[in-house]
Amino acid sequence: MRGAVGALAAVVSLPLLLAGPPAAGQAAAEPPPASGGLQRAFADAADAYSVPRGVLLGVAYLQSRWDAHGGAPSVTGGYGPMHLTDARTALARSGHAHGGGEDRRGDDGRRPPRALAAGAARALGAGALPAALKTLERAAELSGLAPERLRTDPAANARGGAALLADAQRRLGGPAGGSPADWYGAVARFSGADDTATATAYADEVFAVIRSGVARTTDSGGRVALKADRSAVRDPAQIARLRLRTADARGTDCPESVSCEWIPAPYAELSDGAYGNHDKADRPRSQSVRYIVVHDTEGYWDTALDLVRDPAYVSWQYTLRSRDGRIAQHVPLKDVAWHSGNWFVNAKSIGLEHEGFLAAPDAWYTEAMYRSSARLVRYLAKRYGIPLDRRHVLGHDNVPGTTAATIRGMHTDPGPYWDWAHYFTLLGKPFERAGGEGGGSRQAGGEGGGGDRGAVVTIRPDYSRHRPLYTGCTKPGEGCVPHGSGAVRLHTAPDASAPLVKDAGLRPGGEDSTTGVNDTGARASTGQQYAVAERRGAWTAVWYLGQKAWFHNPRELPTAVPGRGPLLTPKPGVDGIPVYGRAYPEAAAYPAGVPVQPVSPLPYRLLAGQRYVAGDRLPGEYFYARTFDTSHHQVVRGEELYYEIQFGHRLAFVKAADVRVLG
């Protein structure tokens, strides 16, 4: 939702978490820096507060995957591997100030809504922060550690988290030490959730990690491991002692393994004759659902909820909270939300907004939200038969403009810092080699199909080690904080000093693309697949936006792996063919009373001899919904067929009559 949400919103009201004075003797002397790395620090912290080591490690993994993020706060002001929250300090230091508004319906048939209601975004100082967003303060009281050390020292942070867990266990009347099964309620309370479903889902996820075990190298380079412990069985009876509210889940479409609450978006007729903020439909009976679109909110949880409840704004199906993975559903899945800026995509998609900021690389997402989102996407994909690949699970930044005039206004979230590789691993569909060479000097030969060795690559850099420089996160032209990224940069030649490839839609004047964090003109993202055009040494060229685009792909640290998929190319006898941002029917398909929609080509050409990976073959389709009165709504389908292709950073469509499929 880049640019769509106001800044510095107040956070949702929650009951006090771990409130009250520390127990006598609970505070511990400030420990020296850990000498045995983070693994040792977790063990020492767990032992100091009589917390089972597996519980402390499991909670920390769900919070941060044991990463410290260099002392930078998360989206919701959490610090360190335990995600100890100090939202006021984090937000005061962040300087986020996003604003603006737009119609992301992606169709000009409906009258535009009035300006966003004043006051939809609330200031941080509007009220006291709930305790769930200032657990670092409580950890300092319990542990005796200075707040700044809890923010910046991972070993101290682990100790503060252990103190919070121990305090939660004591207040619930549970035993010190013991087995993980005794700590199910304390883990649920650590989540800070104010409702039973969210607290339970959080504890279940932590216990799943403990039962399965996990090991990884953290962002500081240390190795941390949690040995599988099958004794970590859940005890729902412990949740009852938390006395949390029951969230209203009526009307939601969510898997049972997540917490989901119904917070509806209004379908309302406005006084000026416009209406909002979504359209009634009858999916999948009326039309198929083929895409899931991942957004970030460019704001905070409360602001997103304010906006989606404004009938003069736009809408999406779900919002996910970063701190604990809580989900709010706003629009029934059968209806069409206005979220992507492309009406063809909106009519066939489901939109998920994730609390976060794309231009704040260190405002990291929690593992809890990644996992909750992945569970939701798996559920939706199974329900609608949506393939779990990057042609169907899109970022908002992969949605094409509808016409040449709209390309520059398309959004760029979730941006280069969303970890697509980890996300798809959680989806159970990791991006793996399909055979062939990942780098090297072999030339791509022939015009064979996707089964040919080396004809297709899947973008797949090592997220944590791949750190391309981006600019413009805080000020235009100023370098962003170095950070892991799932996007690779594309050049006009196999040389890092060569100009970046051009995007004729973003820059009609022919200017080069830039390193700006919001510039998608020369960027390929993890999971996207492209046809190989050439290889030279450690460089690979792919066909991209009608040109040959090079990226660095060394054998020792490849940024792509061999892929597989059908390829298409223009039919013989033509110099090139048009590409489109939406697959609309031919004029003859429209019944009386439904205005014919122009089939407008984008300012690109797919040239003879070039190849692109072919996705779905689908008929032209248009959902006519321009009035509040739904009796006039119709789905128009034509005889003209299209192929979906990965044309640049965004998808595009070509007419099946214009191409031939290879292999």
DSSP string, 56-111: HHHHHHHHHTT--GGG---TTSEETTTTEE-HHHHHHHH---------TT--TTSP
d(CA 369, CA 366): 5
Stretch (H or E) spanning 617: strand 612-624
504, HSE (Cβ side, Cα atoms, 13 Å):
14
Tokens representing 468? Answer: 């391309």
What pLDDT is stored for residue 115 in this prediction? 44
- Nearby residues of 394 by Cβ (< 8 Å), 6 or more positions away: 291, 292, 293, 294, 345, 349, 651
Beta bridge partners of residue 654, listed in sequence order: 643
Q: For residue range 105-123, what is the model confidence (pLDDT) as tens digits?
A: 677 655 555 444 333 334 3
Location of structure tokens 């290889």:
535
Tokens representing 33? Answer: 């820096």
What pLDDT is stored for residue 121 in this prediction? 36
d(CA 207, CA 209): 5
* Segments of the chain with pLDDT less than 70: 1-36, 91-105, 108-128, 435-453, 663
CB burial of 229-252 (b: ≥16 within 10 Å; e: otherwise) equals beebebeeebbeebebeebebeeb
Q: For 113, which DSSP code?
A: P
Cβ neighbours of 465 (radius 10 Å): 8
CB burial of 57-87 (b: ≥16 within 10 Å; e: otherwise) equals bbbbbbbbbbbbbeebbbbbbbbbbbbbbbb
- Smallest CA-to-CA distance from 518 within 487, 548, 491 is with 487
CA 443 to mean position of chain CA atoms: 35
| pLDDT averaged over every residue in the chain | 88
d(CA 476, CA 458): 31
Q: For 121, which DSSP code?
A: S
Do the Cβ atoms of 328 and 322 come closer than 8 Å? Answer: no
pTM (2 decimals)?
0.89
Q: CA distances (Å), 410 to each of 203, 257, 360, 518, 650, in order?
A: 38, 34, 19, 10, 10
- Smallest CA-to-CA distance from 247 within 261, 226, 235 is with 261
Sorted by where each starts, the structural domains of the chain and their CATH numbers stand as: 37-240 (1.10.530), 260-426 (3.40.80.10), 570-661 (no CATH)
